[in-house]
């Protein structure tokens, strides 16, 4: 989402192309709820639940494909792009993102958001939330893995997960500082 324009991914692709064509760097972070391994896991809900989860992923597939198309568009004109999703997200197994990641010069970093201050809003405890960022520019210094000796708060239920979708300010700052040399 662009804080200045308020544009978000569910918009029409033609509208987003204008934004993409005028930006030096685009960061894509499509909704991850449907792609969660916990949600899409084949537990609970029986056959009907599994069908509903798979239908939800099919409905979100166009957004994943649009991110890949727009990332290629940015790269063709010399711009930078980053795509973020949880490390365990099933979206990383989608053909569009697999093909994008296989292109020459693509970088993949994994960060644990606890290193950037992500906390469970309900308990105040650190949340690990391993996150993958795919990019066409190097992101030096961004890779931080957990080194906390204590445990982490699990994300349980929709409210915990929804709250953890917002990046900690320190991660935003680190991402910008890592991307700047590539712009």
Q: Residue 43's pLDDT is what?
A: 53
Inside any domain, residue 113: yes
pLDDT digits (tens, 9 = 90+) for 73-88: 999 999 999 999 999 9
Segment 161-180 mean pLDDT = 88
- What is the pLDDT confidence band of residue 20, given thresholds at 50, 70 and 90? confident
Comparing 132 with 146, which gets the higher pLDDT?
132
Report angle CA 147, 27, 118 to the nearest 5 degrees: 30
Comparing 81 with 160, which gets the higher pLDDT?
81
Segment 105-109 mean pLDDT = 96
**How many residues comprise the chain?**
183
Inside any domain, residue 12: no
Report the alpha-carbon distance of residue 129 to residue 136 in Å, rounded.
Answer: 23
- What is the pLDDT confidence band of residue 33, given thresholds at 50, 70 and 90? confident
Inside any domain, residue 171: yes
Per the structure, the count of domains in the chain is 1
Return mean pLDDT, the chain: 84
Segment 46-61 mean pLDDT = 81
| Of 87-91, 139-143, 150-154, 172-176, minimum mean pLDDT range | 150-154
Tokens standing for residue 33 = 């709820």
Domain encompassing residue 129 = 24-182
Beta pairing, strands 25-28 & 80-86:
parallel
Segment 37-64 mean pLDDT = 75
- What is the pLDDT confidence band of residue 3, given thresholds at 50, 70 and 90? very low
Inside any domain, residue 8: no
Q: Residue 39's pLDDT is what?
A: 60
Segment 120-135 mean pLDDT = 90
Inside any domain, residue 176: yes
Report the alpha-carbon distance of residue 77 to residue 39 in Å, rounded.
Answer: 37
């Amino acid at each position: 989402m662009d804080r200045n324009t308020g544009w978000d991914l569910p918009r029409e692709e033609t509208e987003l192309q204008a934004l993409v064509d005028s930006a030096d760097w685009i960061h894509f972070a499509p909704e991850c709820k449907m792609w969660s391994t916990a949600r899409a896991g084949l537990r609970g809900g029986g056959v009907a639940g599994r069908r509903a989860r798979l239908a939800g992923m099919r409905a979100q597939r166009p957004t994943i494909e649009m991110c890949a198309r727009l990332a290629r568009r940015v790269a063709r004109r010399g711009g930078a792009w980053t795509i973020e999703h949880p490390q365990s997200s099933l979206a990383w197994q989608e053909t569009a993102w697999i093909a994008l990641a296989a292109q020459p010069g693509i970088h993949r970093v994994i960060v644990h958001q606890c290193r950037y201050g992500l906390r469970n809003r309900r308990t105040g405890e650190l949340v690990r939330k391993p996150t993958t960022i795919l990019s066409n520019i190097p992101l030096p210094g961004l890779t931080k893995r957990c080194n906390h000796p204590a445990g982490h708060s699990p994300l349980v239920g929709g409210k915990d997960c929804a709250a953890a979708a917002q990046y900690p300010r320190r991660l935003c700052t680190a991402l910008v500082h890592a991307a700047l040399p590539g712009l």
